[in-house]
A and B are shown apart, each in its own frame.
Chain A
């Protein structure tokens, strides 16, 4: 019975990790695409600013970025109460929960993840877009297509095919990075295993968490492999 209780407890934590994973993808992909257009812009100030931004975000550890996002609002405001902590208490109060909820801190981590991954994705997107031969754009141009049509109808699918392998890498890294939510005490799977170790002197759940990650990454690998095969009908 204890095994199933622990499995369910860890699964609850892993659910949080998965939620963080999915929401990061949801926001970081469009933001990364927008950012990649900024870094490729012909307007130099925009290009410079976005490149410096990418440099800073990629140059700082993700854990530090989480701390920065979490503590930054306190620096700007009166400093009496962290806005994310305030949200935690607010949500707890509203829901009438006995335990302190962590929704505010979850938002802080999500912001840090989205910023971090948008920057990594933007560089992958830029590489993919710039690798498409100029001839593809010109062929669209002489056929009278607009720039938007050329991007959507001609370039996009070729870019997707080319960036799928590096994106797979990045997406798998993201799964494992969700463990960093631990840094501001969000009860994700590893945090929960740690708590079991300290409160019940159970060490094995820590090792057990690896199974969750392995299964999830395994499923993801199959899915991404499937997507790659789906796009293998053409060469680009």
Chain B
């Protein structure tokens, strides 16, 4: 297993949001997490990305432990984890930086990283400049990949929701993540423009990008995933390949959840 999550638990006060989550993911696989609101999907994703600190459990990547609730996880440890594995994260509400152009949003983090490396290794200025132009070229390519090459100098407020989300995908890709995580990437979008974002995720899946997607788009999840997890009340209620999961009828909660999507 490339990514292994072992018995993850998380509470907010008296509310037990995650009650022991175990799952694994192979490299190049796409995992979708489905379930009703409040079932813990987003919290699980946030715990994996260190946006929340789980109360219990461990996370391994490629056999290396990147998180252990039993140890105190300082900023130092987080940095160490980041050297083992690079997670990308795409938010429901995009969270682009409003004062930067689309291109600057994509280049900001890699450029800061390059500056740190140059400072640490005392590289000459010319080398730093070369790295920056490389970073910019990669960012331009990524914006082209998400279909926004001509919007590179636009500010987030000048972009539609779908375009903003595509920029934020490019921003996450700029750091060449090992695992790309999506937290309901289309929930804040108008229904008619969710397609432009889903199309990009599909293209990434075709390129064997390892992805974890929290989504309410059932047809999309079925189409793009290698594996689906259905969460209910803080536990994994069902998991399996899309075909197995969607044809399953014994699990009443899953059945009720899925049928609510087709009842209109």
Contacts and interface: CB of A to CB of B under 8 A. Distances in A.
Q: Indicate, yes or no, whether A interacts with B.
A: yes
A149 B95 contact: no
Interface stretch (B8-16, B82-90, B200-208, B227-235): B82-90
Contact of A135 (B82, B91, B113): B91
B70 interface: no
B209 interface: no
B99 A234 contact: yes
Binding site of A, secondary structure by majority: helix, strand, loop or mixed?
Answer: helix
Given A142-B49, A144-B82, A234-B156, A154 B112 contact: no
B195 interface: no
Contacts of B112: 145, 149, 153
A143 B91 CA distance: 12
Interface string B92-111: 01011111000000001100
Nearest to B46: A138
B50 to A, nearest CB: 8
B175 interface: yes
A15 to B, nearest CB: 37
A229 to B, nearest CB: 15
Contacts of A143: 108-109, 171-172, 175
Of A133, A144, A161, chain B has the most CB atoms within 10 Å of the CB of: A144
A154 B82 CA distance: 21
B257 interface: no
B177 to A, nearest CB: 9
A141 interface: yes
Given A144-B82, A145-B112, A153-B112, A234 B98 contact: yes
Interface residues of B, number: 26
A138 B91 contact: yes
A144 B175 contact: yes
Contacts, number: 53
A236 interface: yes
A233 B158 CA distance: 10
Interface string B46-59: 00011100000000
A224 B67 CA distance: 48
A138 B97 contact: no
A146 to B, nearest CB: 8
A136 interface: yes
A137 B105 CA distance: 14
Q: How large is the interface on A (under 10, 10 to 19, 20 to 34, 35 or more residues)?
A: 20 to 34
Interface in A158-188: 158, 161
Interface in A111-158: 133, 135-136, 138-139, 141-145, 149, 153-154, 157-158
B23 to A, nearest CB: 21
Contacts of A139: 91, 95-97, 168
A158 B93 contact: no
Interface of B: 49-51, 82, 86-89, 91, 93, 95-99, 108-109, 112-113, 155-157, 168, 171-172, 175
14 contacts: A133-B95, A135-B93, A135-B95, A136-B95, A139-B97, A141-B50, A142-B87, A143-B175, A153-B108, A153-B112, A233-B155, A234-B156, A235-B98, A236-B98
Given A158-B98, A234-B157, 15 more contacts: A135-B91, A135-B93, A136-B95, A139-B91, A139-B96, A141-B50, A142-B49, A142-B51, A143-B109, A144-B86, A153-B108, A153-B112, A158-B99, A161-B99, A233-B155
